Structure 1
Amino acid sequence: MTDAALASLTHLVLWSAFAVGLLFGAVTQRTGFCTMGAVSDIVAMGDWTRMRQWALAAGVTMLGFAALAWTGTVDPAKTLYASTRWLWLSALSGGAIFGFGMVLASGCASKTLVRVGGGSLKSLVVMIVLGVAGFATLKGITAVLRTATVDRVAVESATQASLPAWAAQLLPVSVPVAALAIGLVLGLALLAFALADREFLGQRNNLLAGFGVGAAVLAMWWVTGHLGHIAEHPQTLEETFLATNSTRAEGLSFVSPIAYSLDWLMFFSDRSKLLSVGIVTVAGVIAGSAVVALAQRSFRWEGFGDTRDLGHHLVGASLMGVGGVTAMGCSIGQGITGISTLSATSFVAVAAMIAGAVAGLKYQMWRVERSL
């Protein structure tokens, strides 16, 4: 591959990732898809509608990834989530911190970007603080704390820390067969749960949310894991995945990408700071949300109500940045993208995020009751 062809393919990968971000931002702005909102609806009102949206998106992604893996389009062992270390404590602590933080910040990392596109200045502040806290946990002061504590606690394995690899050790099946079987069973179960409710099926927005978000996550897997995959880089002669920060196949996620976006903006003149799929996806989500908000005439400038409101959002943003990096993903990055790979760490992170969100909601309800 010539340098010109390599540059052309890199540009194609970046533009494709931007288009995926546009789709995700437009769908979530149009439908109100939100993981934190799904948990909140259940706790406050017993309404499972948005949780069914999430289940539909997760089911679509799980089935789609199983197909991508089975056909060899994407190699699960070469994704960001593949590891021989089951980082259960990092996922548990980081997930709980992130879940609690997204309640204080009025939404997860993806919802924050969508609200920025809709004119929320408070979400812009949350995005910046989240990015700073996230980058500090990637490479700064909280990164030192993370690597010295929770990241040291892990279950080491000779195989991948994933459900298919564990199943293949217990049953007389290969890892690919186990991955396909588990992906089909769990994916279909999630779809059955989501589509079993007639009232849910009667609302087009619900189907758009589930299938739209699921399609966006799958599209990102194809972009990074197939389109941008080079078996032998012409300069390094090593296998690589173009325009990813980890040099591995990366799915749709938002905490680290927001952090890298701030880094790219602040050090733009540094030629070593290159655009990545995560950075352009962040821009795409904001742009897609803005387009829909303007088209629906729902674009509104929004600020903080008072200093207490500001304080809670600052704390929440900080917790999301620290927790999201520690857990290796946000409510989308682990909640839909990660579990589609059947990573054991991802399932722990998702459970911890939900528990953290419930705790955050209980705390908010206690605050309201105390003020009465």
Structure 2
Amino acid sequence: MVTELASWVETYGTASVLAVGGAFIGVLFGFFAQRSRFCLRAAVIEFWHGKFGEKLSVWLLAFSSALILVQGLILLGWLDVSSARQLANRGSLSGALVGGLLFGVGMIMTRGCASRLLVLSANGNLRALLSGLVFAVTAQAALAGSLAPLRTEISGWWTVDGGAARDVLARVGAGNVDGLVFGLLWLVVAIIFSVRSGNRLWMWIGGLGTGLAVAAAWWFSYAVSQASFDAVQIQGLTFSGPSAEWLMRVLASPAPAFGFDAGMLPGVFVGSFIGALVGREFKVEGFKDGYSMARYIVGAMAMGFGSMLAGGCAVGAGMTGGAIFALTAWLTLLGMWAGAGLMDRVLAEPVHTAQPATQQAPVVVPVAP
């Protein structure tokens, strides 16, 4: 396969091959995520409500399958993630925790994480479309705009060196075999939950297919890096950086260079649109009132800033980074679960408005006929 990739790279160029591969993997992710209702927010809500059902089982199927496949590829010698930014670069533990908390809060307010918003946008959901645009603008502002100083300040509170210090397996004295076994254990849990909740066939296929797409992104970018004479960054699926990149591609000139992310994001949109057509689920939806619109916007802003602070979204940090056992990714995932659980509790609390002490109930005086 590497030989064929080398031939394609020589003929079409590294950037084009990366973009086409990213688009293909994006279509797979979008289709499987749409058909399985893959959503971290829904999984977190089920977990905190003590209902280990369909949504949680789908997320666990995707997460465990991504972890197993990535660790398996490493053991086979088909993938080397030592140069991936989640492991090689200096990381921020404070950024992971604070960013994860903010992202978790935001995804409850917007009723979906970054990837879910893109999937729902392709299904005709205008609330998700607006939230996705606000997410992209905020992410770009946090990356290189007005919010960048604040992100840099928080990131500097607590940092960790790259290399073994940022690798969970290395820190606990474990190896990739242990990582594979860990993934298999979670797969068993996912299967048990899936059987107990009576998952439909598409839930099984979509959950496993979503995890496959995450692993495929890691393998493909590594394979192209081995087939190309150009420097290629090893990477997986993520939505925060690509969203900001596409925003600048539309607004700025010259536009950012094409690569894996440039193809992946529209690929996910197309894949989800196809899934909606297959399931006859395409439906244009909007906001019901001004309050819900304001909530979605604030939530999208929290997610956009949180994702850049944490170094990734629910897929980019939680699944992609988690599959290679990056310490900051696992802390981000922990923050997301905690922040989402707290925000779900806040929104679920009924609002009681006390009557003024001087206000009395009206007195009804019967009138004689």
Shorter chain as normaliser: what TM range? Answer: 0.7 to 0.9
Alpha-carbon separation, structure 1, partners of 2:294 and 2:275:
30
Residue 187 of structure 2 is aligned to residue 182 of structure 1: no
Alpha-carbon separation, structure 2, partners of 1:190 and 1:254:
25
Alpha-carbon separation, structure 2, partners of 1:353 and 1:362:
14
Match of 1:126 among 114, 125, 131: 131
Partner of 2:286: 303
Residue 26 of structure 2 is aligned to residue 21 of structure 1: yes
Alpha-carbon separation, structure 2, partners of 1:369 and 1:43:
21
Q: State the AA in 2 paired with 1:132.
A: V
Match of 2:263 among 280, 287, 312: 280
Residues 79, 225 of structure 1: 8 Å contact kept: no
Partner of 2:167: 162
Residues 85, 160 of structure 1: 8 Å contact kept: no
**Cα deviation, residue 60, structure 1:** 1.1
Give per-residue Cα distances to partners, 1:197-224, cap 9 Å, x unaligned: 4334653133113211111101111121
Q: Secondary structure at the match of 1:159?
A: helix
Quickly say closer, same or farther: Cα 1:350–1:4, change in 2 above 3 A: closer
Partner of 1:74: 79
**Cα deviation, residue 104, structure 1:** 0.5
Partner of 1:143: 148
Alpha-carbon separation, structure 2, partners of 1:15 and 1:155:
35
Match of 2:320 among 314, 337, 347: 337
**Cα deviation, residue 157, structure 1:** 6.5
Partner of 1:362: 345
Q: State the AA in 1 paired with 2:222.
A: G
**Cα deviation, residue 353, structure 1:** 0.3
**Cα deviation, residue 159, structure 1:** 3.2
Quickly say closer, same or farther: Cα 1:297–1:2, change in 2 above 3 A: closer
> How do residues 97-246 of structure 1 correspond to structure 2 at under 5 angstroms?
97-156=102-161, 159-168=164-173, 178-197=174-193, 198-200=195-197, 203-229=200-226, 232-233=229-230, 240-241=231-232
Alpha-carbon separation, structure 1, partners of 2:127 and 2:345:
23
Alpha-carbon separation, structure 1, partners of 2:228 and 2:76:
17
The more displaced of 178-187 and 57-66 is 178-187
Quickly say closer, same or farther: Cα 1:161–1:275, change in 2 above 3 A: same
**Cα deviation, residue 288, structure 1:** 1.1
**Cα deviation, residue 140, structure 1:** 1.3
**Cα deviation, residue 167, structure 1:** 3.3
Q: TM-score, normalised by structure 2?
A: 0.88
Quickly say closer, same or farther: Cα 1:142–1:229, change in 2 above 3 A: farther
Alpha-carbon separation, structure 1, partners of 2:60 and 2:9:
42
Alpha-carbon separation, structure 2, partners of 1:273 and 1:83:
24
Partner of 2:239: 254
Q: Secondary structure at the match of 1:274?
A: coil
**Cα deviation, residue 230, structure 1:** 5.1
Alpha-carbon separation, structure 2, partners of 1:279 and 1:6:
20
The more displaced of 66-75 and 305-314 is 66-75
Alpha-carbon separation, structure 1, partners of 2:353 and 2:315:
33
The more displaced of 181-190 and 43-52 is 43-52
Alpha-carbon separation, structure 2, partners of 1:4 and 1:18:
16
Match of 1:48 among 48, 53, 73: 53
Q: Secondary structure at the match of 1:303?
A: coil
Residues 8, 17 of structure 2: 8 Å contact kept: no
Q: Secondary structure at the match of 2:85?
A: coil
Which runs of 5 or more residues in structure 1 are unaligned?
A: 169-177, 234-239, 242-247
Match of 2:298 among 302, 308, 315: 315
Alpha-carbon separation, structure 1, partners of 2:8 and 2:214:
30
Alpha-carbon separation, structure 2, partners of 1:83 and 1:29:
33
Match of 1:351 among 315, 334, 355: 334
Alpha-carbon separation, structure 2, partners of 1:339 and 1:209:
19
Residues 91, 328 of structure 1: 8 Å contact kept: yes
Q: TM-score, normalised by structure 1?
A: 0.87
Quickly say closer, same or farther: Cα 1:3–1:339, change in 2 above 3 A: closer
The alignment covers a number of residue pairs equal to 348
Alpha-carbon separation, structure 2, partners of 1:310 and 1:364:
15
Quickly say closer, same or farther: Cα 1:229–1:310, change in 2 above 3 A: farther
Residues 33, 207 of structure 2: 8 Å contact kept: no
Q: Secondary structure at the match of 2:82?
A: helix
Residues 66, 179 of structure 1: 8 Å contact kept: no
The more displaced of 147-156 and 343-352 is 147-156
Residues 36, 58 of structure 2: 8 Å contact kept: no
Give per-residue Cα distances to partners, 1:72-109, cap 9 Å, x unaligned: 32212111211364521110000000000011111000
